[in-house]
Amino acid sequence: MNKKTIKRFSVIALSLFCLNTVNVKADTDPYNTWWNAEVNAEKESQNVIENYDDFTKAVNAEEGINVEAKSAILMEPTTGKILYEKNIDEKYAPASVTKVMTMLLTMENIDSGKITLQDKVTCSENAKNMGGSTMLLDTGEIRTVEELLKGVAIASGNDAAVALAEFLGGTEDAFAEMMNKRAQELGMTNTTFKNCNGLPAVGHESTARDIAKMSLELLKHPTILKYTGTYMETISEGRKSPIELVNHNKLVRFFEGCDGLKTGFTDEAKYCITATATKNKVRMLSVIMGAPTFKIRNRDASMLMNYGFSKYEGRKLLAKDEDVETIYMSKQTDRFFIAKAKEDLVVVLPKGTTGELEKRVVIEELQKEYKSGDVVGKCEVYLGEDKVGEVQLYSDRDIKKGNILDNFKYNVRNLFKKGI
């Protein structure tokens, strides 16, 4: 065999060896890589599911939710269902979000008839000297309850909050006791108020869950939204220089449907907000605590509310003043009234809900007489065992229970009808 033949044979042998080597590598490595990746992914998935906090984070990441604030909650107000949560029971300084309770106690006193929006309040020197955010009240200045509410809701006025506190409680300390009492009634077990405006004080603290609770209660007084949802207001009556109020809650201007509720900031608390908005008959409520900047606070609140709107829809079941049920004054009478819906009844449901909705009419203990417009009970709506909506019912007429003679006549008529 000559050298030329040997050289050719060597080249062929080397080529076959290299080809076999490549084939073996192609057959094994990708398979092993894929298999290991699948096994590792399955293990990671199992670990995620076993750890609830990590699972929540995974779901939130999938939904695009990444809240930077220390604490946050998203709630659907009709049912109180929590749609998102982050450290919602951790205590933090609430700053001016405290004023939600100040507004709540004021609105409860107004709606119960104890005070009116037009009642006059004299501003004390203590109120004037509060510092921080202010509506520029002077000592001895007289303002209406409504004007002070605007000062609190729009300009976050510490002076306005103290003026209302002193008007309702006598002193700010006494009013703080009222705040704490109401907080306990609402189940705000992790909240302690030291003042009415949220200025820094040792032990003045709350949580995202508790702030959501008092915010939901404030939403039961819809008049407040006329003020919290106002971006700019001027109060000029009785002043040489008008008071220009600009809402600290910029979402009122820049987030569609936002009509409240309250912002807050101190060096300790950082940036806080309880924000609410409506869209397509659905209301959402988000609370943000401890955001590093106001932009992050507003972004986090907006992101949560948009998430809620993407998951829920509103369905109108009853129109305002619609007949709901005929209510007889007793079993032995033909006297009755029509229970009518006081407002539109809109239920908020997860999008795509197909379950059957059940209406339940709940009438309070029947009175001896009703005037037209008197509230007589409510109509509740359930999806399974979950209540998803309710509306108050009122009497459509003046009506009295029959006396013994009326009931006797009714029984006699019925007796003859049965006989015939």
Best CA proximity match to 108, nearest among 188, 215, 220, 186: 220
Q: Give the Cα separation of 210 and 163 in Å (integer).
A: 25
Annotation says 372 is catalytic: no
What local confidence, expressed as pLDDT, does residue 270 receive? 97
Q: Which residues are annotated as a binding site?
A: 262
On whether both 295 and 338 belong to a single domain, the answer is: no
Percent of the chain clearing pLDDT 70 (strictly above): 80
Confidence of residue 78 (pLDDT cuts 50, 70, 90): confident
On whether both 280 and 307 belong to a single domain, the answer is: yes
Contact 108, 336 (CB under 8 A): no
Average pLDDT, integer, range 392-402: 89
Q: Give the Cα separation of 313 and 310 in Å (integer).
A: 8
- Whether 56 is covered by a domain: the verdict is no
- Whether 62 is covered by a domain: the verdict is no
Confidence of residue 401 (pLDDT cuts 50, 70, 90): confident
- Whether 57 is covered by a domain: the verdict is no
Which structural domain, as residue segments, surrounds residue 403? 319-419
Annotation says 330 is catalytic: no
Average pLDDT, integer, range 64-79: 93
Q: How many residues does the chain have?
A: 420
Annotation says 15 is catalytic: no
Q: Give the Cα separation of 98 and 199 in Å (integer).
A: 9
What local confidence, expressed as pLDDT, does residue 300 receive? 97
CATH of the domain at 186: 3.40.710.10
Average pLDDT, integer, range 160-179: 98
On whether both 183 and 221 belong to a single domain, the answer is: yes
Q: Which is it for the CA torsion 162, 102, 392, 76, positive or negative? A: positive
Total domains, the chain: 3
Average pLDDT, integer, range 278-291: 96
Contact 253, 274 (CB under 8 A): no
- Whether 59 is covered by a domain: the verdict is no
The answer to pTM > 0.85 is no
If residue 23 lies in a helix (H) or strand (E), which one and from where to where? helix 3-50
One of 70, 71, 96, 340 is an active-site residue; which one? 96
CA end-to-end distance (rounded Å), the chain = 132
On whether both 270 and 166 belong to a single domain, the answer is: yes
Contact 300, 69 (CB under 8 A): yes
Best CA proximity match to 389, nearest among 276, 313, 275, 297: 313
Least confident residue range of 31-45, 61-75, 250-264, 341-355? 31-45
Last residue of a domain, one of 279, 313, 347: 313
On whether both 307 and 328 belong to a single domain, the answer is: no
- Whether 65 is covered by a domain: the verdict is no
Confidence of residue 32 (pLDDT cuts 50, 70, 90): very low
Q: Which residues are annotated as a binding site for substrate?
A: 262
- Whether 61 is covered by a domain: the verdict is no
What local confidence, expressed as pLDDT, does residue 403 receive? 63
One of 124, 156, 215, 395 is an active-site residue; which one? 156
Across all residues in the chain, what is the average pLDDT? 84
Starting at the earlier edge strand, list the strands of the sheet with 282-291. 81-86, 71-76, 282-291, 270-279, 258-266
- Say yes or no to pLDDT of 34 above 80: no
One of 99, 194, 213, 342 is an active-site residue; which one? 99
